[in-house]
Amino acid sequence: MQLKEIENLAASVMEKAVDAKEVAGVNLLVLKDKAPVLSLQAGYADLENKVLMADDTIMRLYSMSKPVTAACMMILMQRGLVDLNDPVSKFIPAFANQTYVNGNSLSLVQRPMTVHDLLFMTSGLSYGSDSAAGKATSDLFAEMDARLSTKDAMTTREFADRVGKNPLEFEPSSNFMYGISADILGALIEVISGMSFAEFLKKEITDPLEMPDTGFFVPAQKQSRLSKVYARTENGLTLYTGDHLAIKNKMDTLPAFQSGGAGLVSTLKDYANFGTMLLNGGSFKGHQILEPEIVRYFTQGTLQPWQQESLSRGWGGLEGYSYGNLMRVMKDPSKAIMYTTIGEYGWDGWLGPYFSNHPGCDITFLAGIQLTDAGTTPTVRKLRNVVLPNLLNCLLYTSPSPRDTR
């Protein structure tokens, strides 16, 4: 199959999703050998004003912020500023002498939460649940939302201090649970670096990686490029203007709470530079962001068997994957529900943005959607199934011979 045929297939998948009102718009960017080979857009970034999705549309990343946050922690690790076995309480004293939910009562933890627990979501922190721990987290987010647009908005550090005093869902390292661990990492980055998370991110990641549209807010001069958010309802796609996880929908001011788990905006072009850096052994245009062996560690995370059970049982769609350093990592492609390659890693977000790197074949796959409660959408899975195997076959069978290159 020729590249143009793959492009047409992918465009058809995207257009059908838009026509069926599954999404308002979708953006696709695929790199092979660190160079773009597909860049496609369909539908609208703003339905009401008929603003088309574009290759520079800015999107809220939500949980696709997490790999970037983990990379920041890897920078601190390689400089010897943190040991991943350090207790979180070493940096944030509120995390000392924590308790966890043990049946109908609370018990003192037998071992403290570590930085490693935060990176692997084995900390005992959740996004909220019916337990005493989960209710405390939900109540904290409700308070944050109430203060979000006031002069007393909760800061990254205050959030971490408050979380540290709440009970945990379980003893650290005894289980896996997706939650607010990355937000606590954001606070750790501030404490260890002596900078705000936004300042550290700009200095260490977005400036050297040439990611000008990535950060915790969208300046006034760029607001016209920020996609709207939509929700699927009985009446079709409806504009969504609510805030979520203490992240302002408008993204128009630098927030006091710089969320490592959900706070960033970016474009696919920007995020592609992050993916390229990782596939290039931590280097980008002469800047060595991460050492090659640190990249190897960063992208090969694996849960312990007893932790893996919770991921495998509780998260449909991640069959064959393990988890580590705030990313899924493909361990067994035979179990996957979509086409993949061994060693693939990446993550997605609440509104549907999607990132995967495939180190075995040097491919970066990025999709952009802004739809509530989306995660990995059927549209993204279809695009992966259409693009990845056909792209590999196309490049395999059309690579020029030595004679052709003279």
Per-residue pLDDT of the chain (406 residues; tens, 9 = 90+): 899 999 999 999 999 999 999 999 999 999 999 999 999 999 999 999 999 999 999 999 999 999 999 999 999 999 999 999 999 999 999 999 999 999 999 999 999 999 999 999 999 999 999 999 999 999 999 999 999 999 999 999 999 999 999 999 999 999 999 999 999 999 999 999 999 999 999 999 999 999 999 999 999 999 999 999 999 999 899 999 999 999 999 999 999 999 999 999 999 999 999 999 999 999 999 999 999 999 999 999 999 999 999 999 888 899 999 999 999 999 999 999 999 999 999 999 999 999 999 999 999 999 999 999 999 999 999 999 999 999 988 765 554 433 333 2
* Cβ neighbours, 10 Å, residue 300: 16
**What type of residue sits at position 264?**
L
Domain total in the chain:
2
Cβ neighbour number for residue 223 with a 10 Å cutoff: 13
Contact (Cβ atoms closer than 8 angstroms) between residue 343 and residue 300: yes
Same-domain status, 234 and 380: yes
234 occurs within a structural domain: yes
Q: Are residues 83 and 217 in the same domain?
A: no
Same structural domain, 235 and 161? no
For the four alpha carbons of 316, 320, 324 and 327, in that order, the dihedral sign comes to negative
From 148, 164, 198, give the residue that closes a domain: 198
Secondary structure of residue 400 in the 3-state scheme: coil
What is the DSSP-derived secondary structure letter of residue 202?
A: I
pLDDT value of position 402: 38
What is the model's pLDDT at position 1?
Answer: 80
Using H for helix, E for strand and C for coil, what is the string for 57-123? Answer: CEEECHHHHHHHHHHHHHHHHHCCCCCCCCEHHHCCHHHCCCEEEECCEEEECCCCCEHHHHHCCCC
Domain stops at, among 198, 227, 245: 198
**SS3 per-residue string spanning 322-369:** EEECCEEEECCHHHCCCCCCCCCEEEECCCCCEEEEECCCCEEEEEEC
Domain contains 204: no
User: Within this chain, do residues 44 and 82 fall inside the same structural domain, yes or no?
Assistant: no
In a domain? residue 207: no
Q: Are residues 243 and 390 in the same domain?
A: yes
- For residues 316 and 376, membership in a common domain is answered with yes
pLDDT at 400: 41
Q: What pTM, to 2 d.p., does this model score?
A: 0.96
Say what the pLDDT of residue 393 is: 85
Is residue 293 assigned to a domain?
yes
Q: Tell whether 405 is covered by a domain.
A: no
Q: Which CATH number does the domain housing residue 346 bear?
A: 3.40.710.10
In a domain, 345, yes or no: yes
- Residue 14 structural domain: 3-64+212-257+265-398
Query: Do 90 and 190 fall into the same domain?
Result: yes
Q: Are residues 127 and 225 in the same domain?
A: no
| Same-domain check for residues 271 and 300 | yes
- Looking up tokens 């490049």 gives 395
Q: What is the pLDDT of residue 399?
A: 46
Q: So what's the pLDDT on residue 331? A: 97
Res 55: pLDDT: 97
Tokens of 130: 């019916």
Same domain, 378 and 243: yes
140 plus 170 within the same structural domain: yes
Q: What is the token pair recorded at 232?
A: 């699927």
* pLDDT given at position 405: 30
**What pLDDT, on a 0 to 100 scale, did the predictor assign at position 404?**
31
Q: Classify residue 206: in a domain, yes or no.
A: no
Determine, yes or no, domain membership for 384.
yes
Q: Do 59 and 134 reside in the same domain of the chain?
A: no
